[in-house]
Amino acid sequence: MSTRRDFLEKLSLPFLTISLLKNKKLYNKMTITEKDEPVLKVALMGLGSYATIVANAMQQCKKAKITGLISGTPDKLKEWSKKYNVAEENCYNYSSYHNIKNNNNIDAVYIITPNALHKEHTIAIANAGKHVICEKPMALNAMEAKEMIDACRKANVQLLIGYRLHFEAKTLEVIKMRQNNEFGKIKIFQGLSGFIIGDPKQWRLNKTLSGGGSLMDIGIYSLNAARYTLGEEPVWVTAQEAKTDKEKFKEGVDETIQFQMGFASGAIASCTSSYAANGLDSFFISGDKGYAHIEASIYYGPSKVTTSKGPLTQPHTTHQAAQMDGMADIILHNKQPLIPVDGEEGLKDIKIIEAIYKAAQTNARVYIQ
């Protein structure tokens, strides 16, 4: 049944068309504005606490969106699919997720499962022809990491590691300052990363699932930051481990590790990684011309950065939102970030972690191959 509104819309349409054609600039502006930019369609794998943070942050993304879910818990799939408007046919369990190969509504899978499962899940996702975003640390050891890199290369898909700070504005500004020689020759890096961990039954305190303890979880931030703030790779490491609670921190699960890294330039990094102390959350670099001190460095911000040139004032953006938009640019447009986030970057951290554990066990300086 035709309504007055229908009649008016039909009547006005020819006049709107004529007006647009007469005003070519307005017409072109409208078509450009309404043109859809490509968006990275992402499935989240492992719907735990950190996935919740990622999912909420992705609601702010302009270049990436959640289009799929993978979980072994049916109730979670039902709850999350409703909350994030994910179609039922894009929800999978750990027996069926290989079927994403035939799903055009998924471009990439963000793996947020325990460390020990990263290799298996990465290779399966790559074999399904989807890009892989894997939470750090990327693997239990360097051999696993290399297998993951090889599988993604063979499948011609991207492998990215969840280094969210590589997209954080103040972190990037510090790196640009170093590149512009505003700190001069860097002499010292200090990294403090730690908190008091809770539930003793969680997977992070299970050697089989985590591959270690605080270093594999929180200490990797200081390790990685030393590399990107100095702009070079360490050539040797030394390390000391301290354990006060052997019931909570079983064999192979480190409570606190202090480690030192030496660089070819002569710079020294001194870092602490702990599951037994709060307030360990800062990076400091010092050169012969200046310094930078990053506080609230590893959590979700906003960070406070003071430098020898004054405080940094870049606006805060939710880390995971910036990360996922940045990774969409990498996958969709081959836009390379200032700090790499690829599998090779993840492998470098894993090799150093292995050397740190060896140094702590042997009380000897270990050289990085």
- For domain 165-314+340-367, which CATH number applies: 2.40.50.140, 3.40.50.920, 1.10.10.10, 3.30.360.10? 3.30.360.10
- For domain 40-163, which CATH number applies: 3.40.50.720, 3.40.50.880, 3.40.50.2300, 3.40.50.300? 3.40.50.720
- The answer, yes or no, to whether residue 2 has pLDDT greater than 60, is no
Q: What is the pLDDT of residue 195?
A: 97
Question: Phi/psi at 227 (nearest 5 deg)?
Answer: -70, -45
Q: What is the pLDDT of residue 15?
A: 41
Q: What are the catalytic residues?
A: 136, 221
- The 3-class SS string of 195-233 reads EECCCCCCHHHCHHHHCCCHHHHHHHHHHHHHHHHHCCC
pLDDT digits (tens, 9 = 90+) for 220-261: 999 999 999 999 999 999 999 999 999 999 999 999 999 999
Domain ranges of the chain: 40-163, 165-314+340-367
| 108-111 β-sheet, strand order | 91-92, 64-70, 40-45, 108-111, 131-134, 159-161
CB-based burial label for 311 (10 Å; 0-12, 13-18, 19+):
exposed
Q: What is the pLDDT of residue 35?
A: 54
More confidently predicted of 27 and 66: 66
Q: What is the pLDDT of residue 12?
A: 44
Q: What percent of the chain has pLDDT over 90?
A: 89
Q: What percent of the chain has pLDDT over 70?
A: 91
Specify whether the CB–CB gap between 276 and 256 falls below 8 A.
yes
Residue from 277, 281, 302 nearest 293 by CA: 281
- The answer, yes or no, to whether residue 209 has pLDDT greater than 80, is yes
Residue from 288, 239, 231, 286 nearest 264 by CA: 231
Residue from 210, 192, 272 nearest 239 by CA: 272
Specify whether the CB–CB gap between 129 and 63 falls below 8 A.
no
- The answer, yes or no, to whether residue 74 has pLDDT greater than 60, is yes
- Return mean pLDDT, the chain: 92
Cβ neighbours of residue 28 under 8 Å, at least 6 residues apart? none
Compute the distance between CA of residue 258 and CA of residue 279 in angstroms, rounded to an integer. Answer: 16
pLDDT digits (tens, 9 = 90+) for 336-355: 999 999 999 999 999 999 99
pLDDT digits (tens, 9 = 90+) for 307-344: 999 999 999 999 999 999 999 999 999 999 999 999 99
Rg (CA), the chain: 24
What is the pLDDT confidence band of residue 301, given thresholds at 50, 70 and 90? confident
pLDDT digits (tens, 9 = 90+) for 106-146: 999 999 999 999 999 999 999 999 999 999 999 999 999 99
**What mean pLDDT is predicted for residues 288-314?**
95
